[in-house]
Amino acid sequence: MKKIGVILLVLSIILTAIILARNTESGPYFLDEQFSEIVDYIPKKDKSNKRISEVNVDWHLDHSLRTINRICEALERSNPNEFKSNFSWSRIFVFTSAIIPRGVAQSPKSVIPPKVILTDSLYLQIEEAKENLKKLKL
């Protein structure tokens, strides 16, 4: 029984180290590499691969940018003093593995892209995301 306890303790220390190592980036520019990747994909916005997704590249770009912007807005409005911790196996899995299982969650309507996605809208959302990150003072 003691061996199991020691093994669980060692595993929890390893998982904690992994989580801390993955969360070391901060500052308003920590997503700049990803924003550059998004910009590189904009010319390919009308492409799709039905084996991977039913929607085009532009849908995924727009969805990602909307998600970043809505999260930034929610963080600005949040009050850390009102936070109440709760245990979640799925959260532990996602944070430690960096894998989000497909088809499990539903996106809020605020991050669902419109039927027609304009190229200019994608560039504007990138700029909005950069400004939102600067406001957070990470």
For the record, the structure tokens of 31 come out as 């997503």
**Pick the residue with more confidence: 29 or 132?**
132
Task: With cut-offs at 50, 70 and 90, classify the pLDDT of residue 20.
Answer: low
CA 49 to chain centre: 22
| Residue 65 pLDDT exceeds 80 | yes
pLDDT at 26 over 70: no
- The SS3 of residue 47 is coil
Q: Which amino acid is at 100?
A: I
Instruction: Check if the beta carbon of residue 42 is closer than 8 Å to that of residue 123.
Output: yes
CA distance 51 to 66: 24
pLDDT of residue 28: 66
How many Å separate Cα 32 from the centre of its chain? 14
pLDDT at residue 22 tops 70: no
Residue 21 has a pLDDT of: 65
Q: Tell which wins on pLDDT, 90 or 45.
A: 45
Please give the C-alpha separations between residue 50 and each of 37, 45, 59, 110, 134, in angstroms, as whole numbers: 21, 14, 13, 25, 36
Residue 13: its pLDDT value, please? Answer: 79
Instruction: Kindly report the pTM of this predicted structure.
Output: 0.72
pLDDT band at residue 23, thresholds of 50, 70 and 90?
low
Helix axes 32-41, 119-136, angle to 10 degrees: 180
- Interval 94-111: pLDDT, tens: 888 888 777 777 888 999
